[in-house]
């Protein structure tokens, strides 16, 4: 049986992920991708148009899938003050773990390195990543403020602070130092717990 | 008068800064650099050995100079509790402003994009940048803890949190969104003030 059109498309995207994440945008050719995915060059062009379009499709689909994965779990309703820390820790641990996947770190480096060439692509990654994460947190903090469980007069600023308390050091370390700098899962949990504690200590103090 | 050897060296470094920050590492040639700095190709090789060595020299010197600039101001002694916020704000504003210079942001993107090829270079940038910044803050927080002006049982964790509360959002925004996302100087000051307030609210609460 010959592979279906959808299967060919998936094969090209898989080959493109491997090739782009291992090299520079420039050094990947459509010929390479056709060869490594076992389809004809015409098929690659028929599905994706140009190398630029294929790269954009790959980056946006990887970013969107990772973000959906993080946010798919229904945010648990926070029923009482003692549930605030565990729920925030759970959301932020899931987010940190997703961003620290080696393939997502390579994608981030590649997109940041290509900002001058693909500014719109970097903007799309930003919107699916940090911007969406901050919006989800701001909604939660705004609800907690409305119910007098925390004092969060400016939910977007507070959500941005909470997000970067958690994400800043580990993502930056991994950007510069590579995969060896990715903390273990228990170390990630400890880091998230300490960051949420610092944040809540400030938001609770204001509530008193 | 013919340019001195030191003047030629500076001319090559200036040309290299312009060329590397405008393009990929790969697309810059030693021929281009000789031409744009007005020296012979032999002179470029005599001063810097290889393109790789020239790139490393450029990146480390830009990073070291920027860091020296931030840290050269003697840390003011913090004489009383009401001086804590102003002194921290002043250090962190200087640091944020230095990192958000367009040429330093381009350098950061370039180095992050080249991590797979130049892991040691990225490590050197990390050590001169975030690691040095956190060490300076940790020393200050440790002193404040020893004098019972704040409660900072783990100065390195606290300094890392304070650093990323300030640096996380603006540096990440500028990485992805480009120079248009660099906040104005007053907006940077407001951002630093809010971040320091959140941090101190937590460190003071523990001190009570």
A121 three-class SS = helix
The DSSP call for residue B75 is P
**What are the average pLDDT values for consecutive 10-residue runs of chain B, which has 208 residues?**
82 92 88 93 93 91 88 76 94 95 94 90 91 94 94 96 97 95 97 97 74
**pTM score:** 0.91
Q: Residue A172: which of B111, B114, B130 has the nearest Cβ?
A: B130
Contacts of A197 in chain B (CB under 8 A): 202
Q: What is the pLDDT of residues B42-99, one digit of tens each?
A: 999 999 999 999 999 999 999 988 888 888 766 667 888 999 999 999 999 999 999 9
pLDDT in tens, A145-177: 999 999 999 999 999 999 999 999 999 999 999
User: Residue A176 and residue B114: Cβ atoms within 8 Å?
Assistant: no
Q: How far is CA B154 from CA A194, B23, B137, B159, in A?
A: 11, 42, 12, 9
Considering CB atoms only, which of B112, B113, B161 is closest to A198? B161
The ranges of chain A with pLDDT < 50 are none
Q: What is the pLDDT of residue B73?
A: 67
Query: Which among A111, A157, A205 has the least Cβ separation from residue B205?
Result: A205
The vertex-B114 CA angle with A61 and B118, nearest 5°, equals 140
In chain A, residues with a C-beta closer than 8 Å to the C-beta of B177 are 122-123, 126
- Confidence at residue A42, expressed as pLDDT on a 0 to 100 scale: 93
Nearest CA to CA, how far is B74 from chain A (Å)? 26
Q: Tell me the shortest Cα–Cα distance from B121 to chain A, in angstroms.
A: 9
Q: Which residues of A touch B26 (CB under 8 A)?
A: 24, 26-27
Q: Which residues of A91-104 are buried (b: 16+ CB within 10 A; e: fewer)?
A: bbbbbbbbbbeeeb
Which of B165, B181, B173 has the alpha carbon at shortest distance from B88?
Answer: B165
Q: How far is CA B120 from the centre of its chain?
A: 17
Chain A contact residues (CB < 8 Å to B): 22, 24, 26-27, 106, 109-116, 119, 122-123, 125-126, 130, 157, 160-161, 163-165, 167-169, 171-173, 175-178, 194-195, 197-199, 201-202, 205-206
């Amino acid at each position: 049986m010959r592979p279906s059109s959808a299967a060919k498309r998936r094969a090209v995207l898989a080959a493109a992920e491997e090739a782009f994440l291992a090299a520079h945008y420039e050094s990947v050719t459509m010929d390479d991708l056709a060869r490594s995915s076992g389809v004809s060059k015409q098929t690659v062009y028929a599905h994706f148009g140009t190398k630029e379009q294929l790269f954009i499709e790959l980056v946006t689909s990887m970013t969107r899938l990772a973000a959906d994965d993080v946010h798919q779990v229904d945010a648990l309703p926070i029923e009482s003050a003692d549930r605030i820390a565990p729920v925030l820790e759970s959301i932020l641990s899931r987010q940190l773990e997703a961003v620290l996947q080696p393939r997502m770190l390579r994608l981030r480096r590649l997109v940041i390195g290509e900002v001058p060439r693909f500014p719109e692509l970097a903007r799309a990654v930003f919107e699916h990543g940090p911007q969406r994460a901050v919006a989800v947190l701001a909604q939660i903090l705004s609800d907690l403020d409305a119910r007098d469980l925390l004092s969060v007069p400016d939910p977007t600023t507070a959500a941005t602070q909470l997000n970067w308390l958690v994400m800043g050091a580990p993502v930056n370390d991994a950007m510069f130092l590579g995969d060896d700098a990715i903390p273990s899962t228990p170390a990630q949990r400890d880091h998230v717990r300490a960051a949420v504690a610092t944040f809540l200590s400030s938001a609770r103090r204001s509530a008193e």
